[in-house]
């Protein structure tokens, strides 16, 4: 058979590339990018969900240690990503489903909520859910180490850069920890902070706010996410602190946001924690991302809330009682998908 | 399934091993290839497998019936059955909304608004390719140039052969079907050549095409913010993107087919080294150009009816060829522009001046040849602007902005690294222009360690400079 010598020679040729590939795969770590490590850990029994605010602001190691002091022993994974990727919706929900350990019991689940994470974007007159075309929607394997699927099909930069980092790209500002916390180290002198703050403000005021539309589909997805997590432990809805300027825009976007979250929390019989008051008392790296030290303080507050006794069963509100849930986009495909789901 | 995906990297070795080690008889190999091809296609969306089966079934039955009957009337009816079925599928999925939209526009122009139904459907990947492939089979059987396939597996495997199913080459039954009908034995030299072609195709796709897209897309998306020289740079980038994307796919298709003992037709022959537009069209997307020549241009009368008829037929072929690419006036404009470039050569009888490979065996092109190549490339680049733009108005606006005084300024977007990679690519292509693909003969006489070093070098470049993944452009056609 002439095929065997061919395969032997091919295997010999491939030894070096495969060895290089393996070296790359095993070299990838928290400095590779701001997402990779989250897809390499085992299925999680406790989770932090949300967008970049939660990714940077909620530190699982702080959460776990404060809870441990209260006698609650959990190992939390921060599975929050960013706007355009992990706003509540079918894409994120499916990914959370894959990340959640089916056997999880008595876990804690911190769901960071804000008007942006419950809004869709209007692009040329059409309502769009950006994340549906993003990699999170396509990823099947989220608990694999090394995560070949991510590195070979999602990772946007040349693979060799993982093994031999480009000396010109001296960007050490982002470090993703194994527990999913994204540590951001940027200059915190007043001028740098002011510069980033101005840029963010312009971005949100001029680009995001005019095109953001509160979304029933996203609210529905949040409800489904809570339903998914409740059997596995305690769920807490958290509104993280933001600067007053950001809060002002959020109030423009969804004036009744706190009421909505309150209704959801009552209906779902989960706790909530609103930390949006006195926003300017906290330190941010820009307009709304908490600085490391304050992130730890906020995380400790969240942990203490979780450490309290479970919420009492209060008046249950039916879904038809959400006044701001009924709106314009019930017919949107994303919402149809949700309605076809388990709910 | 994409050729540059993890799925395919697992799929191909499995199919290769099954094909040569498990299913060693011809018929079982054909069945295995058919199943593998359907898995390959169904990986994207299994619902659309039904269309391939339907198209294959219609042409299989029509082929047999054509052979069985001698009646000219019935034969014509059968031929039209196949054409209507295939073009019906194509028209519904690809062109329905285009025609409905244009009809509505036309009626509102005359003050009679019309509201037609628009279909909310996805364009099935590769539909333009496999419908043309099955149609060519039926037409060849009708013309008695080909015996119909008796074995349904052979025919279905021919239509759906996974290396060329979704983006060609559009294989003629005369070439490919007999290869399913004879025993195949493993040919080491062919397999090695296939792997080399896959390697070069991957380089073209993931290094040259994808990086060009990353640079060109933002410029095209906000073209109004850039000066003429930057727009020209983007248009040149897109020219290399589309060439390397499509010919890279073809290289991987041809190389993959060779691993299984099949020879597919060459689809590209270094078109950017063409010295005039006529030569370009003999070197670009050869399987489609020859399809239109054999099944449209010649039946229309070709060049037999004098110059006027020849001009008319050429114009029709270019317009239809443009329209084949997509339901948008930009593609029609692209075809019309190429016709405009081509017709002067046809009228002056100079359309067959350059038939052989460029520049014999001498190292570099002569000044005259170089001018011809640059002029031809310039024409092609202008036409690609229409191909890339969202609509004709945008393309014209972009070209007007390009031809402004800022054309002579320094581009505000530039990448030395990409230009270096492009130069490497062009040097390899130029050195290999007498072969079927750039890398084919380079290092053929070297010692194996030197040759391996070259291939490792190309692999290194792929790992080092892989661009952001983009789908193959021709999937949408």
What is the pairing mode between strands A46-49 and A107-112? Answer: parallel
- pLDDT higher at B359 or A234: A234
Rounded CA separation B406/B413 (Å): 13
Rounded CA separation A113/A261 (Å): 8
A11, two tokens:
């295997």
Of the pLDDT bands very low, low, confident and very high (cuts 50, 70, 90), residue A166 is low
**From the CB of residue A207, how many other CB atoms can be counted at a distance below 10 Å?**
11
Note the pLDDT of residue A315.
42
Exposure string (b/e) for B391-424, b if CB count within 10 Å is 16 or more? eeebbeebbebbeeebeeeebebebeebeebbeb
Note the pLDDT of residue A111.
97
Q: Contact B253/B167 with Cβ under 8 angstroms?
A: yes
DSSP H or E stretch at residue B259: helix B228-259
Average pLDDT over residues A116-134: 83
Top residue of B20, B195, B260, B421 to mutate, by most chain A CBs within 10 Å, is B20
Average pLDDT over residues A109-134: 87
DSSP-assigned beta bridge partners for residue A235: A109
Of the pLDDT bands very low, low, confident and very high (cuts 50, 70, 90), residue A331 is very low
What is the pairing mode between strands A107-112 and A233-239? Answer: parallel
C-alpha to C-alpha distances, A190 to A193, B102, B361, nearest whole angstrom: 5, 58, 67
- Spatial CA neighbour of A164 closest among B418, B465, B459, B9: B465
Note the pLDDT of residue A336.
41
What is the pairing mode between strands A119-123 and A126-128? Answer: antiparallel
How close B462 comes to chain A (CA, Å)?
8
Q: Which region holds residue B443: left if phi is over 0, alpha if psi is between -120 and 50, else beta?
A: left
Percent of chain B with pLDDT over 90: 55
Q: Where are the beta strands (DSSP E) in A245-333?
A: 271-274
Whether the CA torsion A25, A30, A33, A37 is positive or negative: it is positive
Of the pLDDT bands very low, low, confident and very high (cuts 50, 70, 90), residue A320 is very low
Note the pLDDT of residue A313.
43
A/B interface, count of CB pairs below 8 Å: 42
C-alpha to C-alpha distances, A287 to A59, A186, A199, A264, B239, nearest whole angstrom: 19, 14, 9, 27, 42
Rounded CA separation B265/A322 (Å): 63
How close B193 comes to chain A (CA, Å)?
12
Q: Do B192 and A6 touch (CB under 8 A)?
A: yes
Helix (H, G, I), strand (E, B) or coil at B150: coil
User: Residue A153: its chain B contacts at CB < 8 A?
Assistant: 5-6, 469
Q: Chain A residue with minimal CA distance to B9?
A: A152
Task: Give the nearest partner residue to A2 out of B6, B188, B452, using CB atoms.
Answer: B188
- Spatial CA neighbour of A145 closest among A56, A27, A46: A27
The C-alpha R_g of chain B, in whole angstroms, comes to 23
Domain extent listing, chain B = 6-184, 189-275+354-476
How close A144 comes to chain B (CA, Å)?
15
User: Residue B9: its chain A contacts at CB < 8 A?
Assistant: 152
Of the pLDDT bands very low, low, confident and very high (cuts 50, 70, 90), residue A323 is very low
Whether the CA torsion B314, B318, B321, B323 is positive or negative: it is negative
Q: Do B186 and A3 touch (CB under 8 A)?
A: yes
Note the pLDDT of residue B469.
60
Q: Chain B residue with minimal CA distance to A6?
A: B188
Which letter does DSSP use for residue A44 in this model? Answer: B
Q: What DSSP string runs through B365-434? A: --HHHHHHHHHHHHHHHHHHHHHHSSSHHHHHHHHHHHTSGGGGS--SS--HHHHHHHHHHHHHHHHTTT
Helix, strand counts (H, E) of chain B: 19, 0
Query: pLDDT by residue (tens digit) across B154-207?
Result: 999 999 999 998 887 999 999 999 999 999 989 999 999 999 999 999 999 989
Burial zone of B442 (CB within 10 Å; 0-12 exposed, 13-18 middle, 19+ buried): middle
Rounded CA separation B364/B367 (Å): 9
DSSP H or E stretch at residue A127: strand A126-128
Which letter does DSSP use for residue A237 in this model? Answer: E
C-alpha to C-alpha distances, B179 to A16, A113, B30, B149, B351, nearest whole angstrom: 35, 61, 10, 12, 34
Rounded CA separation A300/A70 (Å): 12
Exposure string (b/e) for A322-333, b if CB count within 10 Å is 16 or more? bebbeeebeebe
B196, two tokens:
């080399």
B314, two tokens:
């050429």
Note the pLDDT of residue A112.
96
How close B258 comes to chain A (CA, Å)?
13
Note the pLDDT of residue A181.
95
Of the pLDDT bands very low, low, confident and very high (cuts 50, 70, 90), residue A53 is very high
Note the pLDDT of residue B477.
53
Q: Chain A residue with minimal CA distance to B452?
A: A13
Q: Do B452 and A20 touch (CB under 8 A)?
A: no
Helix (H, G, I), strand (E, B) or coil at A191: helix
User: Residue B5: its chain A contacts at CB < 8 A?
Assistant: 153
Query: pLDDT by residue (tens digit) across A170-210?
Result: 455 788 999 999 998 888 888 988 999 999 999 999 989 99
pLDDT at B467 exceeding the cut of 80: no
Of the pLDDT bands very low, low, confident and very high (cuts 50, 70, 90), residue B255 is very high
User: Residue B211: its chain A contacts at CB < 8 A?
Assistant: none
Q: Contact B260/B19 with Cβ under 8 angstroms?
A: yes
Note the pLDDT of residue A156.
82
DSSP-assigned beta bridge partners for residue B61: none
Exposure string (b/e) for B244-268, b if CB count within 10 Å is 16 or more? bbbbbbbbbbbbbbbbbbbebbbbb
Active-site annotation of B, residues: 325
Q: In this prediction, does ipTM exceed 0.85?
A: no
Average pLDDT over residues B282-288: 93
The values of phi and psi at residue B245, to 5°, are -65, -50
> To the nearest whole number, what is the mean pLDDT of chain B?
88
Whether the CA torsion B78, B84, B90, B93 is positive or negative: it is negative
> To the nearest whole number, what is the mean pLDDT of chain A?
85
Burial zone of A285 (CB within 10 Å; 0-12 exposed, 13-18 middle, 19+ buried): buried
Domain extent listing, chain A = 33-339
Task: Give the nearest partner residue to B5 out of A5, A153, A158, using CB atoms.
Answer: A153
Rounded CA separation B182/B279 (Å): 35
The values of phi and psi at residue B471, to 5°, are -65, 155
Q: Contact B35/B15 with Cβ under 8 angstroms?
A: no
Q: Do A16 and B188 touch (CB under 8 A)?
A: no
Query: pLDDT by residue (tens digit) across A260-313?
Result: 999 999 988 999 999 998 888 899 999 999 999 999 999 999 999 998 866 544
Q: What DSSP string runs through B173-230? A: HHHHHHHHHS-----HHHHHHHHHHHHHHHIIIIIIIHHHHHHHHHHHHTGGGS-HHH
Q: Do A16 and B456 touch (CB under 8 A)?
A: yes
DSSP-assigned beta bridge partners for residue B336: none
Q: Chain B residue with minimal CA distance to A11?
A: B13
Note the pLDDT of residue A339.
38
Asked if B44 is an interface residue toward chain A (Cβ–Cβ < 8 A), one would say no
The values of phi and psi at residue B362, to 5°, are -70, 155
A139, two tokens:
């990823």
Please, what is the angle between helix B152-160 and helix B173-181, to 10°?
Answer: 130
Q: Which residues contact B453 (CB under 8 A, 6 or more apart)?
A: none
Average pLDDT over residues A57-63: 95
Query: pLDDT by residue (tens digit) across B60-84?
Result: 999 999 988 888 899 999 999 999 9
Q: Chain B residue with minimal CA distance to A1?
A: B186
Asked if B464 is an interface residue toward chain A (Cβ–Cβ < 8 A), one would say yes
Task: Give the nearest partner residue to A6 out of B5, B188, B468, using CB atoms.
Answer: B188
Average pLDDT over residues B369-385: 93
User: Residue A2: its chain B contacts at CB < 8 A?
Assistant: 185-188
User: Residue A13: its chain B contacts at CB < 8 A?
Assistant: 452, 455
Note the pLDDT of residue A63.
95
Average pLDDT over residues B315-325: 91
pLDDT at B472 exceeding the cut of 70: no
């Amino acid at each position: 058979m002439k095929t065997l010598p061919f395969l032997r020679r091919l295997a010999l040729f491939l030894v070096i590339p495969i060895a290089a590939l393996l070296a790359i795969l095993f070299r990838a770590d928290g400095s590779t990018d701001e997402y990779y490590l989250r897809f390499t850990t085992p299925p999680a029994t406790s989770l932090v969900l949300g967008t970049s605010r939660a990714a940077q602001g909620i530190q699982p190691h702080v959460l776990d240690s404060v809870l441990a002091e209260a006698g609650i022993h959990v190992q939390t994974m921060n599975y929050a990503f960013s706007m355009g990727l992990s706003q509540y919706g079918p894409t994120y929900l499916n990914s959370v489903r894959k990340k959640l350990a089916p056997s999880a019991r008595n876990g804690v689940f911190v769901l960071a909520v804000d008007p942006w994470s419950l809004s869709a974007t209007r692009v040329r007159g059409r309502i769009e859910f950006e994340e549906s075309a993003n990699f999170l929607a396509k990823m099947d394997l989220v608990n694999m180490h090394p995560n070949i699927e991510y590195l070979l099909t999602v990772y946007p930069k040349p693979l060799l850069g993982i093994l031999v980092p480009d000396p010109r790209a001296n960007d050490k500002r982002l470090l993703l920890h194994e527990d999913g916390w994204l540590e951001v180290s940027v200059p915190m002198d007043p001028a740098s902070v002011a510069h980033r703050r101005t840029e963010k403000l312009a971005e949100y005021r001029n680009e995001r706010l005019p095109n953001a539309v509160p979304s029933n589909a996203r609210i529905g997805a949040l409800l489904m996410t809570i339903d998914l997590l409740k059997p596995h432990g305690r769920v807490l809805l958290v509104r993280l602190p933001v600067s007053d300027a950001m809060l002002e825009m959020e109030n423009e976007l969804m004036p009744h946001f706190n009421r909505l979250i309150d209704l959801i929390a009552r209906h779902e019989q989960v706790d909530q924690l609103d930390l949006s008051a006195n926003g300017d008392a906290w330190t941010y790296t820009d307009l709304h991302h908490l600085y490391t030290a304050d992130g730890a303080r906020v995380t400790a507050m969240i942990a203490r809330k979780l450490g309290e006794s479970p919420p009492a069963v209060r008046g249950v509100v039916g879904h038809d009682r959400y006044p701001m849930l009924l709106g314009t986009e019930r017919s949107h495909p994303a919402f149809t998908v949700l309605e076809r789901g388990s709910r | 399934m994409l050729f540059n995906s993890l799925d395919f990297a697992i799929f191909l070795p499995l199919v290769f091993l099954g094909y040569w080690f498990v299913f060693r008889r011809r018929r079982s190999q054909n069945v295995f290839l058919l199943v593998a091809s359907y898995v390959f296609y169904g990986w994207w969306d299994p619902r659309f497998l039904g269309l391939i089966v339907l198209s294959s079934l219609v042409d299989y039955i029509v082929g047999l019936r054509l052979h069985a009957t001698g009646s000219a009337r019935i034969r014509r009816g059968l031929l039209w059955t196949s054409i209507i079925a295939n073009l019906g599928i194509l028209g519904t999925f690809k062109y329905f909304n285009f025609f409905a939209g244009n009809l509505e526009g036309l009626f509102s122009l005359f003050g009679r608004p019309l509201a037609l139904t628009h279909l909310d459907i996805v364009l099935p990947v590769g539909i333009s390719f496999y419908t043309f492939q099955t149609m060519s089979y039926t037409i060849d059987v009708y013309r008695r140039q080909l015996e119909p396939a008796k074995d349904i597996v052979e025919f279905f495997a021919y239509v759906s052969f996974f290396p060329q199913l979704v983006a060609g080459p559009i294989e003629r039954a005369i070439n490919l079907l007999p290869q399913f009908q004879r025993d195949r034995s493993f040919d080491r030299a062919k397999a090695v050549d296939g792997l080399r072609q896959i390697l070069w195709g991957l380089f073209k796709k993931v290094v040259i095409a994808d990086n060009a897209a990353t640079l060109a897309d933002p410029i095209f998306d906000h073209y109004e913010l850039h000066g003429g020289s930057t727009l020209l740079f983007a248009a040149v980038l897109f020219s290399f993107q589309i060439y390397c994307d499509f010919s890279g796919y073809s290289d991987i298709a041809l190389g993959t087919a060779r691993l299984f003992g099949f020879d597919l037709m060459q689809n590209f022959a270094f078109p950017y080294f063409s010295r005039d537009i006529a030569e370009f069209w003999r070197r670009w997307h050869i399987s489609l150009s020859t399809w239109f020549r054999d099944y449209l241009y010649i039946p229309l009368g070709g060049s037999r009816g004098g110059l006027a008829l020849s001009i008319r037929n050429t114009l029709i072929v270019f317009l239809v060829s443009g329209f084949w690419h997509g339901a948008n006036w930009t593609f029609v404009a692209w075809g019309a522009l190429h016709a405009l470039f081509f017709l002067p050569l046809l009228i002056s009888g100079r359309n067959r001046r350059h038939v052989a490979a460029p520049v014999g065996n001498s190292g570099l092109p002569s000044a005259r040849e170089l001018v011809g190549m640059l002029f031809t490339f310039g024409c092609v680049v202008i036409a690609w602007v229409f191909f890339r733009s969202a609509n004709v108005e945008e393309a014209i606006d972009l070209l007007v902005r390009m031809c402004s005084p800022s054309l002579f300024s320094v581009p505000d977007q530039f990448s030395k690294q990409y230009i270096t990679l492009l130069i490497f690519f062009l040097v390899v292509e130029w050195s290999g222009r007498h072969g079927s693909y750039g890398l084919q003969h380079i290092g053929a006489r070297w010692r194996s360690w030197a040759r391996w070093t070259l291939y490792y070098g190309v692999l290194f470049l792929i790992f080092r400079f892989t661009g952001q993944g983009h789908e193959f452009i021709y999937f949408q056609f």
